[in-house]
Structure 1
């Protein structure tokens, strides 16, 4: 039963992101958390504060305003005190230049008593970097900005 509840909640959070609303995701973080995105580009890096993580989601929506995730699989393991969730997804977006692109990847989430203490986003970084490079060539300077990180 617990795993079904977690799967449903994860799907709801992705639905919110698909609608351009990161607030439900931000509300799920534990007081101490880590939000990481793999790679070396404008969306990469690690954040440990809500302020930096909010700025990251704001950048995500500025760069990929119609980003949409289709979940392939949501795997849940563990009890409420130590839950690991792996989400396999396909993602589409039009970027700020209107060119439709596709990507795929995984989110790995560690939950403790329903709160996210760690979120690691693992996309196809080569595909994302190509999209960001294309956006920069089209004049979007933020596509090549330094990652949003904090200590």
Structure 2
């Protein structure tokens, strides 16, 4: 399962967010933890896709780079931990670097639950700067 996650993250890291949406179950629950403009607790592929659109709109050119993946469990209940670097240049030319952790539950290769935690102080400052 690690190889599937790595392959998907390579696509997502190149800006192909639809690769993550395609891996999601129709009723996926996605949470992006924190009280920022990107904070979310949504259900379903359409809402998941809409979050990526919001991410791209607010932080164009910022990309998610896979650092490491740990996967364990049976095909019907696989737990995946992912470490990501969040890197890019903000609209004002400021470099943006952050770290995010993701906790995913897969059932038969479909993402049913996805929780992402990023340093919200850095993220909020970047988002506030991107509004200018």
The TM-score with structure 2 as length reference comes to: 0.92
Q: 108, 111, 119: which one pairs with 2:114? A: 119
- Report the secondary structure of 1:34's partner residue: strand
Which residue is equivalent to 2:22? 27
Q: How does 1:54-133 map to 2 (within 5 A)?
A: 54-133=49-128
Gaps of 5+ in 2: none
Question: Which structure: larger Rg?
Answer: 1
What is the CA-CA distance between 1:70 and the residue it aligns to? 2.8
- Report the secondary structure of 1:90's partner residue: strand
The TM-score with structure 1 as length reference comes to: 0.81
Q: Deviations over 1:103-130 (max 9, x none)?
A: 0020111001110000101111111011
Which residue is equivalent to 2:5? 10
Please say if residues 71 and 79 of structure 2, whose CA atoms lie closer than 8 Å, have aligned partners that are also in contact: yes
Q: 41, 58, 80: which one pairs with 2:36? A: 41
RMSD: 1.3
- Report the secondary structure of 1:46's partner residue: strand
Q: Supply the distance in 1 between the matched residues of 2:48 and 2:26 (Cα, whole angstroms).
A: 13
Gaps of 5+ in 1: 1-5, 139-151
What is the CA-CA distance between 1:71 and the residue it aligns to? 2.3
Which 4+ residue blocks in structure 1 deviate beyond 3 angstroms? Answer: none
